[in-house]
Structure 1
Amino acid sequence: MSGHAYEHIAAELRGAILDGELAPGTRLPRHADLAARYGVSEIVVRQAIDALKNAGLVETRGRGGTRVRDRPPVRRVSSRRYLADLGSQATPRTSFTDDHAITWSQYRLDTAYRWIEADERLAGLFEVPPGTRILERHFVFYAAGRPAQMSRPCLLAADVEGTPVADPGNEPWPGGTIGQLRSLGIEVDEIAESVATRMPTPEEARTLNLGTGVPVFAVTRRMLAAGRVVEVADPIVIPGDRTVLDYDIVLPPSPG
C-alpha cells in the first residue's frame, strides 16, 4: 500500500461514496472491521474517516456511527436565475425556489431586520457616504426543510423606510428583492456579482449544517436601477459541496 495508509483507505471509501456504492445514509463499517479489512490499526482508520469528514462526505452522530452524508445537488444558473424574479407572479416563485426546484409551500425564509449606518465597506458598495442609513436584513433560506443559503441583503432607508418592504412580516416576498423594489417603482436593470470561496464562519457552518472542512461560495451582489445601486447583498453564502455555479457568456460578433 503506497503512500499513507489512511489516504488509500479514504480514497477507496470516497470512490464508493461518489459512485453511489455507499448511498446517503449508509452506515460505514465499524472501525475495528475496517482495520481488519485493510490490515491497519484503528488509529489509521480514524485518520481516514477524519479525511472524509473534512471533505463533507460523512458525519458521525453519537451512537449512530459514521454515515454517508446526504448531499443533494443544486444547480445555480447565475446569468439567468433572476429571470424568475422578473417573470409573472401568478404562481409565487423566486430565483431561489427555481434554483432548488421547489414549490412555494416548500420554501421557508427566516429573517432578521435592523436599521444601521453604513460602514466604509457597505458605503463603498452602495456608492454613498459612510453613515448613510441602511436596512440590514439577514436571511436563512430553506428548501424543503433543509437550510440551503444565507444572505445579508441591504437596502437604502431612503428607498424603503415606511414601506411594506421594510416589514419583515411580509417575507417571503414573491419575486424576492427585485419584486420588492418593483413594488416601489424601482426597476432593477443590472446585477453585478463577485464570487469568492472561503471557509465558513462557525455560525455559517452550524446554520447550513456543513461538514467539517467544507468551503462556501461567498457572493457579493449589487443590484442597480438606471445606474444607481439600490441593493447590496454582502455576503450571500452558499454551501460549496452541493452547488454548481453556471455562467453563460455571450460573445459579440467578430468585427468585419
Structure 2
Amino acid sequence: MGRTHLPGHAYEHVAAELRGAILGGDLVPGTRLPRHADLAQRYGVSEIVIRQAIDELKHAGLVDTRGRGGTWVRERPVVRRVSSRRYQADRGPQTEPRTSFTDDQGIEWSQYRLDKVYRWTEACDRLAGLFGVPVGTRVLERRFVFYSAGVPAQMSRPCLLASDVEGTPVADPDNEPWPGGTINQLRTLGIEVDDITESVGTRMPTPEETSVLRLRPGVPVFTITRLMRAAGRVVEVADPIVIPGDRTVLDYHVPLPPPAS
C-alpha cells in the first residue's frame, strides 16, 4: 500500500483503519497485531508513525502492549447492565440478601464486598443545594467501593442527613453491607423512598478512580448524581456514583402512558 495523501496526520489514518478493523470484528480480542516494521511496510509509512498510531489505540483502550511481546487487541470485559428498574431489588421483598448492585452484577451475596469510610461533615454549597437544605447542615458522608467477585466495579459517595440517621444503626459502618441498600436502611427508620432521579454524565477518571477501579489508559467513566426522595423530600444524595465506561451499559426502560383523549 502506498503512502496516503488524505488530509491530516499519517498516524491518524493508520489508527483509524486499525480501529475500524477492531471495532468491526476483523481483529478480535486476543489478536496480536503485526510487527511495527510490517505495519510500516503495509501502510507505506515510517515505524515512528506506526508507534504514534498504536499509542492512539492504547489511549482509546483498544489495544495493550506487552513490552517486547508485541501489541494485542484488548480483551473486552463483561458488560453489566444498570436498569432504570434496578431499585426494585432494594425495595424487596428480600427472600435472600441482595441489593440492586448484586442484581446488576449477577452475583451471590457471598461474592459481594463493600469497602466503606464514614464521616460526619457539613454540607457544602453543592450538597446543600441538592438536598435543599442550608449550607453547613450536618450530614453523614459515606464513601463506598463496590466489589463484584473480587473486582472493584463501582465507587460512590452517598450522603444522608444527620437529622434522619444520627444515633441509629444506619450510621454504623459495621452494619454494611446492608441487604436492600439505602432504601431498606431508610425504611427501618420509617422513611419510605418513593422517587429516585439520576443525572448521568461521562468524563475521564481522576487518578484515584483509575487506581481504585483498576482502569486501563483511555477508559472513561460514567458519573451519576442520584437523589432519593420520600414524600417530596430529598433523603439521600449520592454524588458522584462512578462506574467504568468499558464495563457498563446504562439500560433504561421508559414506559409511555396512553395518549390523552
Opposite residue 239 of structure 1, the aligned amino acid is P
Residue 52 of structure 1 corresponds to which residue in structure 2?
A: 57
Secondary structure, counterpart of 2:256 in structure 1: coil
Cα distance in 1 between the residues matched to 2:237 and 2:142: 10
Larger radius of gyration: 2
Matching of residue 162 in structure 1 with residue 157 in structure 2: no
1:178-227 Cα deviation digits (max 9, x unpaired): 12111222111110111122222121122222233332221110101111
Partner in structure 2 of residue 97 of structure 1 = 102
Shift in alpha-carbon separation, 1:42–1:175, aligned structure 2, 3 A: same
The residue number in structure 2 matching 1:74 is: 80
The match for 1:179 among 171, 184, 204 is 184
Separation (CA, whole Å) in 2 of partners of 1:114 and 1:217: 25
Partners in 2 of 1:254 and 1:102 — Cα distance?
Answer: 40
Shift of 1:22: 4.3
Task: Return 37-46 or 26-35, whichever deviates more.
Answer: 26-35
Determine if contact 1:59/1:211 at 8 Å carries over to the other structure.
no
Q: 1:69 to 1:164 in 2, by over 3 A?
A: farther
Structure 2 unaligned blocks of 5 or more = none
How many residue pairs get aligned? The number is 255
Q: Which residue of 2 aligns with 1:120?
A: 125
Q: 1:145 to 1:12 in 2, by over 3 A?
A: farther
Query: Which residue is 1:208 aligned to?
Result: 213
Tell me the equivalent position of 2:236. Answer: 231
Look up the SS of the partner of 1:11 in the other structure: helix
What percent of counterpart residues are identical?
76
- Distance in 1, Cα, partners of 2:119 & 2:141: 5
For residues 116 and 25 of structure 2, the distance between their equivalents in structure 1, rounded to whole angstroms, comes to: 36
Distance 1:155 1:64 in 2: 50
Give 3-state SS (helix, strand or coil) of 1:230's partner. Answer: strand
Q: Given the alignment of the two structures, is residue 9 of structure 1 paired with residue 46 of structure 2, yes or no?
A: no
Secondary structure, counterpart of 1:235 in structure 2 = strand
Q: Which runs of 5+ in 1 are unaligned?
A: none
Shift of 1:23: 4.4
CA distance in 2 between partners of 1:169 and 1:217 (Å): 29
Letter in 2 for 1:94: T
3-state DSSP of counterpart to 1:89 = coil
